[in-house]
């Protein structure tokens, strides 16, 4: 009896020391109410603007007026909207049952303040055309917001669906004078220990379908081998490989051990972007495109499990016209083109005036499969006499060299259908962006940039398709990009975890609403 009393006193003291909410979290975790997810990087501050936070946690906490499904806008915080015939007025009707995680109701005034703040900082967000075109925001009542535009902005609904920075939040000063942000999403951040873990609690006042788990614990585990062991010993329930750190071979081995492993194709395209200011000759760029055996790449990289890509954008994008031309693998034709200007030297590589035909390929360190891809391409281009030099750099170095145009070519992954095509086109025609260097060497550069700009101000579908036909045709004629395959994401779950179905935007969003534990 004495021991029982002492134990009860110790438990009571533990609750006082740790705090009731944390004690409840530990208790619920023990009872199986916590989903444990492994992630390789710290999740940052999880504020709605922080580019250092992974988008999937921002998507858990914050929401926008609209979402995107299969390239079409769907209701989120706005339950409906109308667009006037001239395309210059958007009237949004907000849901009336939405509250921020601090209990404050969602109102049109808060939406106005959020968007107005971004308009004031629009120079920081050059890829968001709507911020340049909204001239006035009106709030006729607590649940109606009207955007008045100076000119048509076809990308507006797309942009409002972005995970950042256009999600709606409520902010106030914290106890230490810092700004504290509250969202309306399915999850509330309860604890965030840098480089260790973060705890999220289900938002019981969420307006829509609530998740099945009560808590989510995101454990920061930088090494994939350690993540694999965490899965084996139950310290992690699932891992979604957003960074490409897990190889196909490692995923296959985990599947052999009994884990549930899935490979999901995404709406993002992995491609080679050609720096037209360094590779100025179109015949060389064309030879590279013809000398690229995409099926061979997919077979070597993933045993044929990936989907081949032909264009910068996915073919199911609503703005993509059908039947566009693309380059098919033809090594003989690639050789014939190069033979006109370059001869093979004593070794396997071509030369001109004693200078070897050598090109650099930049990509960021840490992505296991991109490293393998670079080696596959090196071997492939050697067969047509081009000496490809893989150039792997830390991400910050890669980003600077990318923006400064230091690489001849780069491995690049497109943004995905939620952002396409408008935000990409805005970025491409913006001086100073890394994108811009790919188009600067195009023969029809001025006409191309003009088409990119005018398309966003065109409300008619027929004219949008005509613009996209011209833009894709320019990409093809000038050989600005060599699309390889649809990007993919690998996820691994313990066999008692069910209900996870990655979507085509899983590099930005990890929807765990329907995930549950089987008993």
Cα distance between residue 476 and residue 325, in whole Å: 7
**Maximum distance among all alpha carbons in the chain?**
95
Q: What is the pTM of this model?
A: 0.85
pLDDT at 303: 85
Q: For 363, phi and psi rounded to 5 degrees?
A: -160, 155
Contacts of 265 (CB under 8 A, 6+ apart): 306, 307, 486, 487, 488, 504
| Domains parsed from the chain with CATH numbers | 19-46+177-264+494-517 (3.40.190.10), 63-172 (3.40.190.10), 266-487 (3.10.105.10)
Name residue, tokens 């002492």: 6
Cα distance between residue 457 and residue 462, in whole Å: 13
pLDDT at 4: 46
pLDDT at 418: 82
What are the pLDDT tens digits along the chain (519 aa)? 445 444 444 544 444 444 444 444 555 454 569 999 999 999 998 988 877 889 999 999 999 999 988 778 899 999 999 999 999 999 999 999 999 999 999 999 999 999 999 999 988 888 888 999 999 999 999 999 999 999 999 889 989 999 889 999 998 755 555 678 999 999 999 999 999 999 999 999 999 999 999 999 999 999 999 999 999 999 999 999 988 889 888 999 999 999 999 999 899 999 999 999 899 999 999 999 999 999 999 999 888 889 999 999 999 998 999 999 999 999 999 999 999 999 987 789 999 988 999 999 999 987 888 999 999 999 999 999 999 999 999 988 998 898 888 999 999 999 888 888 988 888 888 776 667 777 888 889 899 999 998 998 887 888 899 999 999 999 999 999 999 999 999 999 999 999 999 888 778 889 999 999 998
pLDDT at 432: 63
Q: How far is CA 419 from CA 161, 164, 299, 366, 430, in A?
A: 9, 11, 29, 25, 16
Q: How far apart are the first and last CA of the chain?
A: 35
Sign, Cα dihedral of 89, 90, 93, 95: negative
DSSP characters for 417-478? GGGTTHHHHHHHTSTTSTTHHHHTT-TTHHHHHHHHHHHHT---HHHHHHHHHHHHHHHHHH
Identify the three-state secondary structure at position 187: strand
pLDDT at 97: 92
Instruction: Report angle CA 119, 124, 128 to the nearest 5 degrees.
Output: 60
Cα distance between residue 457 and residue 87, in whole Å: 9
Residue 182 is encoded by which pair of tokens? 């509250």
pLDDT at 14: 47
Distance, CA of 491 to chain centre: 16
Classify residue 444 as exposed, middle or buried by CB count within 10 Å of its CB (0-12, 13-18, 19+): middle
Cα distance between residue 181 and residue 50, in whole Å: 12
């Amino acid at each position: 009896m004495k021991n029982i009393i002492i134990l009860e006193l110790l438990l009571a003291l533990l609750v006082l020391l740790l705090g009731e909410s944390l004690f409840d979290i530990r208790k619920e975790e023990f009872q199986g109410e916590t989903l444990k997810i492994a992630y390789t990087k710290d999740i940052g501050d999880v504020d709605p603007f922080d580019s250092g936070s992974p988008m999937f946690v921002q998507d858990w906490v914050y929401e926008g007026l609209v979402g995107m499904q299969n390239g079409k806008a769907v209701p989120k915080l706005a339950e409906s909207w109308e667009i006037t015939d001239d395309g210059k007025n958007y009237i949004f009707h907000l849901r009336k049952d939405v509250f921020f995680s601090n209990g404050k109701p969602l109102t049109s005034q808060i939406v106005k303040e959020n968007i107005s703040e971004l308009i004031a900082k629009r120079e920081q967000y050059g890829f968001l055309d709507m911020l340049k075109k909204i001239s006035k925001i009106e709030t006729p009542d607590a649940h109606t917001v009207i955007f008045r535009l100076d000119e048509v902005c076809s990308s507006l609904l797309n942009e409002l669906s972005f995970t950042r920075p256009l999600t709606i939040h409520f902010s106030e000063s914290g106890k230490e004078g810092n700004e504290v942000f509250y969202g309306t999403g399915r999850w509330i951040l309860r604890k965030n220990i840098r480089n260790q873990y973060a705890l999220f609690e289900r938002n019981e006042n969420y307006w829509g379908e609530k998740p099945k788990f009560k808590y989510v614990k995101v454990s920061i585990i930088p090494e994939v081998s350690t993540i694999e062991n965490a899965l084996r010993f139950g310290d992690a329930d699932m891992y979604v490989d957003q960074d490409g750190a897990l190889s196909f071979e490692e995923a296959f081995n985990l599947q052999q051990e009994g884990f549930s492993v899935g490979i999901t194709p995404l709406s993002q395209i992995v491609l080679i972007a050609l720096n037209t200011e360094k590779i100025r000759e179109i015949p060389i760029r064309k030879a590279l495109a013809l000398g690229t055996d995409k099926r061979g790449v997919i077979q070597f990289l993933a045993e044929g499990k990936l989907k081949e890509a032909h264009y910068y954008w996915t073919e199911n994008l609503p703005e993509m016209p059908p039947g566009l031309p693309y380059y098919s693998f033809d090594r003989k034709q690639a050789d014939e083109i190069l033979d006109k200007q370059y001869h093979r030297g004593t070794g396997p590589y071509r030369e001109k005036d004693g200078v070897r035909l050598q090109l650099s390929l930049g990509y960021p360190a840490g992505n296991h499969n991109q490293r393998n891809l670079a080696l596959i391409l090196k071997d492939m281009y050697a067969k047509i006499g081009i000496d490809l030099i893989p150039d792997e750099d830390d991400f910050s170095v890669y980003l600077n060299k990318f923006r400064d145009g230091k690489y001849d070519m780069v491995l690049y992954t497109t943004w995905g259908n939620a952002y396409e095509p408008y935000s990409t086109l805005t970025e491409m025609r913006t001086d100073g962006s890394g994108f811009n260097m790919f188009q600067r060497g195009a023969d029809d550069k001025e006409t191309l940039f003009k088409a990119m700009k005018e398309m966003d101000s065109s409300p008619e579908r027929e004219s949008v398709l005509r613009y996209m036909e011209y833009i894709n045709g320019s990409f093809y004629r000038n050989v600005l990009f060599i699309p390889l395959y649809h990007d993919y994401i690998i996820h691994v779950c313990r066999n008692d975890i069910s209900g996870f179905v990655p979507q085509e935007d899983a590099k930005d969003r990890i929807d765990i609403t329907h995930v549950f534990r089987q008993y």
